[in-house]
Amino acid sequence: MRYPNGQKNKSMASKKTRSMGFSNRGMTLEEDINATNVFYRSADKAVIHKKPTPVQVVNVHYPKRSAAVITEGYFKQPSTTDYNGIYRDRHVDFEAKETKNKTRFPLANIHEHQIKHMQSIANHGGICFLIIRFSVYNETYYMPAETFFPYWEAQFNGGKKSIPYETIQNTGYRIPFHYQARVHYLAIIDQLYF
């Protein structure tokens, strides 16, 4: 923003930069997957939805009669994975993670209860995987849960607490960006399962 004398308003510029950098951090992958799922549903290819996180509302403030503002709430239980649904008569369940790290994917981004849930889905014949985006490279990978589990277990037996970027390149499946299906993960599922 510039004042009439042509000078920049430095405080506004720094606020804008700060808010742009942190407000939507980690949301681009989720937005791309949500748009992809809308396309899949509208084209009648699959029915996949983002799971809502169960929240218990404790306190509500009513500033106006027609408006309510939740002022206090708590997670009822730990969430499982981000997305689930059905594709070609198979249950699909996956977690989506985005990292700004250039060299590795930290396993701390995943929680133990999510791994237990994914193991249960895989044991019952569901299609379970992770979608991992390296935002620095703008690269997105599909990693089957069965490929991911050994890396998760290794960290508890003296192994690394992250998966190297090169390993994900070699063991995962790169998902190219498409116009309508931005994260076209069904193409990878078709390749692996059908």
**Tokens of residue 94, six digits:** 């996956």
Architecture of domain 25-51+79-193: 3-Layer(aba) Sandwich (3.40)
Please list, in sequence order, all residues whose beta carbon lies within 8 angstroms of the beta carbon of residue 70, skipping any fewer than 6 positions away: 57, 59, 60, 61
User: Quick one: average pLDDT of 121-148?
Assistant: 96
> Which pLDDT band holds residue 25 (cuts at 50, 70, 90)?
very low
Q: How many residues does the chain have?
A: 194
Burial of 163 per CB tally in 10 Å (0-12, 13-18, 19+): buried
CA–CA gap between residue 157 and residue 69 (Å, rounded)? 47
Binding site residue list for Mg(2+): 80, 82, 95, 114
> Which pLDDT band holds residue 42 (cuts at 50, 70, 90)?
very high
> Which pLDDT band holds residue 178 (cuts at 50, 70, 90)?
confident
Binding site residue list: 80, 82, 95, 114
pTM of the model: 0.76
Beta bridge partners of 174: 141
Axis crossing angle, helix 145-154 with helix 112-123, rounded to the nearest 10: 140
